[in-house]
Amino acid sequence: MREDSDPTGCLITNARLLDPATGLDRIGELRVEQGIITGIGGFLAPPRGRYELIDAGGLCLAPGLVDMRAQFGEPGFEHKERLESGARAAAAGGVTSVALLPGTNPPVDDPAMLQFVARKARQLRSVKIYPYAALTRGLAGQQLAELGLLREAGAVAFTDGAKALADAQMMRRALAYATSIDALIVQHPEEPSLARGGVMNDGATSVRLGLAGIPRCAEVMMVERDLRLVEMTGARYHVAHVSTAAAIEAVRQAKARGLRVTAETTPHHLALNELEVEGYRTFAKVSPPLRSEVDRRAVVEGLRDGTIDVIASDHDPQDQDSKRQPFAQAASGVIGIETMLSVSLRLYHDGQMSLLGLLRKMTWAPAQLLGLNAGRLAVGAPADLVLFDPDAPWKISEAGLSSLAKNTAFEGRLVNGKVHRTLVDGRTIYRRDGI
């Protein structure tokens, strides 16, 4: 064994190898050379040249997580999150690839802006960052962005981020054009006129708290409208952070009809319901809002039966001035990229999903949707890896999180699942004590 401060490879031994793409689940070794996986199995020959020997001690070794929905705030909102701090939080959470929403200031709606974000992210030499591009100019919903040029510049998909594209004719044109370039359209599913003025889920809790509610039908109405348009155009369409039983059922039926539709949910919609808002907790204010317990269970079932394809963090950093407000005036959004794995592992510990099935929603599935060379353990694949203990307990504390913002909805929660090391292209970008 040889080890030094600048290895060109590594040999990870005594690991529980997990590959959701192939169903691999066995104890073994993994070899990395020049940033590429060159061997998976048992009793592998060491890499050529300088290398590091990592004894995993039986911990899980899986593809690094692929987060297909996050916001880092730079440029324009650096006081909430910078690319560097967001990347650091991602690495601590085992995330190796992040797709960033275009809702910056200015928004990512032209090739120069998109290339600026991509170039600055590469300079960090940390997690891999893939920018979305805006679907409409200025995220205003009035005029389509130059989808073809943005696609050529590297946009992984198109979305207006936290804004729904309300104009049906505009969405139809976007879907039709996206079909010609095989691009993915991602929609925030909320009918704006119905949601206007609402600050939480509409129901008994909102009435009791005296807060304006957002009706659940605002979500399914937008999803059903768009699915009609998808049927007309044959486009690839993705429902972001679906949160209601009715909308999940609409996606389920659309998939059964063969439409090219996919959906995602978030850790907070998996784990929390509208009661989190009790006490006017602004750190539980998100968009779409936390729903009823019936809806939360429908989200879990949607994941289990394959209707929901992906878990994404929906990391949305806010500063204290934006959250320390009366509930109605406070900003929506929670951070979550660092806690995505630990919170989601609850489904595994509760026996509701297998470990491989759960990891698939955060690795291989989002990588496939976005067309990324990521999300699997395979010879020839980039060595983007996470080494974690699925059983290790810890308490989430905002003081212990790496994000610049601290607006977690899980403050003080006990979770199981701790990341020990994260590697990108074979380089360690995060390392917890010990391994």
Is this model's pTM higher than 0.85 or not? yes
Q: Which residues of 259-309 form beta strands (DSSP E)?
A: 261-265
Percentage of the chain exceeding pLDDT 70: 98
| pLDDT of amino acid 94 | 98
- Count the neighbouring beta carbons within 10 Å of the beta carbon of residue 402: 17
Task: Report the catalytic residues.
Answer: 314
Q: Are 263 and 239 in contact (CB under 8 A)?
A: yes
**Segments in the chain below pLDDT 50:** 1-4
Q: Are 157 and 185 in contact (CB under 8 A)?
A: yes
Long-range contacts formed by 107-113: CB under 8 A, 24+ apart: 107/134, 107/138, 107/139, 108/132, 108/133, 108/134, 108/155, 109/133, 109/134, 109/136, 109/137, 109/138, 109/139, 109/145, 109/150, 110/145, 110/146, 110/149, 110/150, 111/146, 111/149, 111/150, 111/152, 111/153
| pLDDT of amino acid 8 | 85
Residue among 241, 328, 325 at smallest CA distance from 288: 241
- Phi, psi (5° rounding) for residue 198? -75, 150
Could you tell me the two tokens for 412? 């003080």
| pLDDT of amino acid 433 | 74
